[in-house]
Chains A and B, each alone.
Chain A
C-alpha cells in the first residue's frame, strides 16, 4: 500500500487499486446506463455517470497519468454514442482534464469523507461543463447556451448522486 505526501495525514492518502474487470466493466456499465436510462427516465441526462466514475477512479488511484488516460477513454466512449454533429473528442478532452485534476487533487486533500466528495463532485461537474462549453464554442464554433442556474442545479444533483455512486464503488477498492 504505497503512500504519498499530502496536505493531510498519511492514512488519508492511501492509494487504492482495482481489479482489471472492475477497471474495464465499471466505466462500460456507466456509459451503458447513461445511454439507456434516459429512454425511461426523463431527467436522467442531467446526471453524468461517466464523469462521476472518472472522478472516482482518479481520486482513488491518485495517479495523474492513469487519471487522464482513464478520463480520455471514458470520454471517447461517451463521444461514440453522441450525435453526428458531435465530433469524437469533445467529452474526451473534458474528461481527460477532469481525470488529471481529480487525481492531482487526490494527492493533496482527503477525498474519502462525504463532505469533500460532495464538493469535489459539485466543482468538477461545473468545471466539466465549462471545459465542454469552451471546446464546443471555442474550438468548434458551435452555438452553446450557458445557464448558470441549470449548471448549478445539475451540479447539485450530480453531487448527491455522486455520494451514492462513490459509496457503491468503494466496494471494488483493493489495497
Chain B
C-alpha cells in the first residue's frame, strides 16, 4: 500500500485536487448565487484588492492630470476657440429644438404618455476587469457605501455600458453589454422594431429576435427600449453595422456599441429612475402659428429722423409697433421665414416684444407669396405710428384672448399687396378689430412645420 501511494503520489494529489474542484463546481451549479447575492470568498477577494486598484488608478490619474493640465497644454487655445464656436452653434440648435420639445411634451400629455427620467447618477471610475477573454466584467470604485445596488444601469454620455451585477462595500462589478451573459432590451430608432441585444464570447454584440421579413438597414441607430426595466428608454446603445439572414426566422444583426466598452474609464451609475408624465405646467396653450411666428426673424429698427433729417434715438414703442404690424401680417400669411436682407439683421430688444415680428421688408423677399405684403409693402421699412401700433396690438390681443398678439388672428396683409403703400395704421387697426376671429374658433395646428391657415376674411381694399 505504501509502495502504491509512494509510486502514484503525484497522480493521486492531482486527482484529489481536481476532484475537490469539480465537487465545488457542482455545488455552485446546484446552488447558484441569487441575484444580488455574493459569495463570501469573492467578497473578501474583491475587498482586499479594490483598495490597491483604487490607489493605483488615482495615482495614475493624478500624474496624468498634472501632465495634461499644467504641462501639456499645446493646442488648448485653438481647442477653446473651436469649442466656443460649437457652443454658439449648439445654442442656435437648442433654441430650435426647445420648441419641438415643448410641442412633443404637449402631445405626450394629450396621449397620457409616461416617460422615464434619469433622476440621479453617481460617477464612478473603472478600476479593474476580469482580466480574461472569457468574462468581460468590469470593476468600479463605488459600492454599497455609495448607494449602489444590483441591476442599476451603468452608462456613459455616449451610450450604455452595462448593469451592476454584484456590489461590494467599496466597489461593484459591472456586466457590460458585450459579455456573453448579457442581454438588453433595445429598439431600432427609425423602424421602432424591438429586440434583445446580446453579447458574445468574442465581445461582439448582436441584435436578436428581429424577424427576417423586417427591413433593417446598416447604420441605423439602436436605443434602449426600456422593456428590461433597467435602462431608461431612449438611451443610445449603438449602431447597426451588418444585417444577414440568421437561423430560423430571425435576422442576424451585428451592432457596434456606442460606448467604447474596451476603453471605458469613467462611467455613470443610474441610481434612480422615475416614471412621470411630462411636465407641461409651465407651458401655456400656444398655437402653431405662434410657434411659427417665433421662429421668424425680426427686423432691426431704424433710427427715425427729425424734421432736419438728423437721426434720432429709436422709439421703442414705435419700433416694436412697426415690427408688430409687419410681423403679424406676415404671420397671418403663414409663410416661411423671409430670406430677405432684413432677416439677417437682429432688431434691438425693444423691437422683439412681439414674437411674431417679421421684417417690414419681407415683401421684398422672393419667397413672399402674393398677399403677404406688410406695412412697409413698398420694400421700405415704414414705421407705423405709435397710436396705430397700439391699436393693432390691442385689436390682436382682444381677438385672440391671449396676452401675446396672435398672428393668425390678423387679416392677411394682402391688403397692401395691390397697393405698394402701406395702409394707414388706423385702418389696419379698425379692420383687424372687425375681421379678426377669436382664437377659440380656430383649430389649433400643433405642427409648427405646417404653415398656419390664413383667416378667410377679406382684406380691406
Q: Quick one: CB contact mask for A85-115 with B, threshold 8 Å, 1 for yes?
A: 1111111110011001000100000000000
CA distance A119 to B28 in the complex (A): 36
Tell me the smallest distance from the CB of A39 to a CB of chain B, in Å: 5
- The stretch of A2-10, A13-21, A65-73, A164-172 in contact with B is A65-73
CA distance A82 to B180 in the complex (A): 13
Q: Is the CB of A72 within 8 A of B200?
A: no
B163-195: which have CB < 8 Å to A? Answer: 165-166, 173, 175, 179-181
- The stretch of B90-98, B133-141, B297-305, B422-430 in contact with A is B133-141
Q: Is the CB of B132 within 8 A of A48?
A: yes
Tell me the smallest distance from the CB of B128 to a CB of chain A, in Å: 5
With beta carbons under 8 angstroms apart, the residue of B25, B33, B56 that contacts A84 is: B33
Q: Is the CB of A68 within 8 A of B14?
A: yes
Q: Is the CB of B49 within 8 A of A45?
A: no
Q: Quick one: CB contact mask for B29-45 with A, threshold 8 Å, 1 for yes?
A: 10001000001011001
Q: Is the CB of A81 within 8 A of B46?
A: yes
With beta carbons under 8 angstroms apart, the residue of B21, B52, B201 that contacts A92 is: B21
Q: Is the CB of B179 within 8 A of A83?
A: yes
CA distance A87 to B25 in the complex (A): 6
Q: Is the CB of B128 within 8 A of A39?
A: yes
Q: Is the CB of B131 within 8 A of A84?
A: no
Chain A residues closer than 8 Å to B166, beta-carbon distance: 84
Q: A88-B39, A145-B202 are contacts. A82–B126 as well, Cβ < 8 Å?
A: no
Counting chain B residues whose Cβ lies within 8 A of the other chain, the interface size class is 35 or more
Chain A residues closer than 8 Å to B179, beta-carbon distance: 83
With beta carbons under 8 angstroms apart, the residue of A82, A93, A100, A135 that contacts B132 is: A82
Tell me the smallest distance from the CB of B54 to a CB of chain A, in Å: 11
Most-contacted residue by chain A among B13, B14, B42 (CB, 10 A): B14
Q: Is the CB of A90 within 8 A of B129?
A: no
With beta carbons under 8 angstroms apart, the residue of A36, A87, A100, A143 that contacts B127 is: A36
Q: Is the CB of B17 within 8 A of A69?
A: yes
With beta carbons under 8 angstroms apart, the residue of A36, A48, A69, A83 that contacts B56 is: A36
Q: Is the CB of B131 within 8 A of A64?
A: no
Q: Is the CB of B134 within 8 A of A93?
A: no
CA distance A175 to B173 in the complex (A): 43
Q: Is the CB of B52 within 8 A of A72?
A: no
Interface size, chain A (Cβ < 8 Å): 49
B53 CB-CB contact with A under 8 Å:
yes
CA distance A146 to B262 in the complex (A): 21
Number of A-B residue pairs, CB cutoff 8 Å, is 139
Chain B residues closer than 8 Å to A12, beta-carbon distance: none
B87 CB-CB contact with A under 8 Å:
no
CA distance A90 to B18 in the complex (A): 10
Tell me the smallest distance from the CB of B230 to a CB of chain A, in Å: 15
A130 CB-CB contact with B under 8 Å:
no
With beta carbons under 8 angstroms apart, the residue of B41, B57, B126, B134 that contacts A88 is: B41
Q: Is the CB of B201 within 8 A of A145?
A: yes
Chain A residues closer than 8 Å to B122, beta-carbon distance: none
> Closest residue of chain A to B23, judged by CB?
A89
Q: Is the CB of B52 within 8 A of A97?
A: no
A139 CB-CB contact with B under 8 Å:
yes
Q: Is the CB of B175 within 8 A of A32?
A: no
B104-133: which have CB < 8 Å to A? Answer: 126-133
A77 CB-CB contact with B under 8 Å:
yes
Q: Is the CB of B127 within 8 A of A78?
A: no
> Closest residue of chain B to A43, judged by CB?
B262
Chain B residues closer than 8 Å to A40, beta-carbon distance: 263
Q: A42-B262, A83-B175 are contacts. A64–B14 as well, Cβ < 8 Å?
A: yes
Q: Is the CB of B128 within 8 A of A84?
A: no
CA distance A86 to B53 in the complex (A): 22
B387 CB-CB contact with A under 8 Å:
no
Chain B residues closer than 8 Å to A93, beta-carbon distance: 18, 21-22, 25
With beta carbons under 8 angstroms apart, the residue of B25, B181, B265 that contacts A39 is: B265
B58 CB-CB contact with A under 8 Å:
no
Q: Is the CB of B28 within 8 A of A88?
A: yes
Q: Quick one: CB contact mask for B325-338 with A, threshold 8 Å, 1 for yes?
A: 00000000000000
Q: Is the CB of B127 within 8 A of A39?
A: yes
Q: Is the CB of B200 within 8 A of A88?
A: no
> Closest residue of chain A to B181, judged by CB?
A85
Residues of A at under 8 Å CB distance from B?
31-32, 34-40, 42, 45-46, 48, 64-65, 68-69, 72, 77-78, 80-93, 96-97, 100, 104, 132, 135-136, 139-140, 143-145, 147, 150, 154
Residues of B at under 8 Å CB distance from A?
9-10, 13-14, 17-18, 21-22, 24-25, 28-29, 33, 39, 41-42, 45-46, 49, 52-53, 56-57, 126-139, 165-166, 173, 175, 179-181, 200-202, 262-263, 265
**A-B pairs with beta carbons under 8 Å apart, 24 shown:** A32-B53, A35-B130, A36-B53, A36-B56, A36-B131, A64-B14, A65-B10, A68-B10, A68-B14, A78-B132, A81-B49, A83-B179, A85-B135, A86-B135, A87-B29, A88-B24, A88-B39, A96-B21, A100-B14, A139-B25, A140-B25, A143-B201, A144-B201, A150-B202
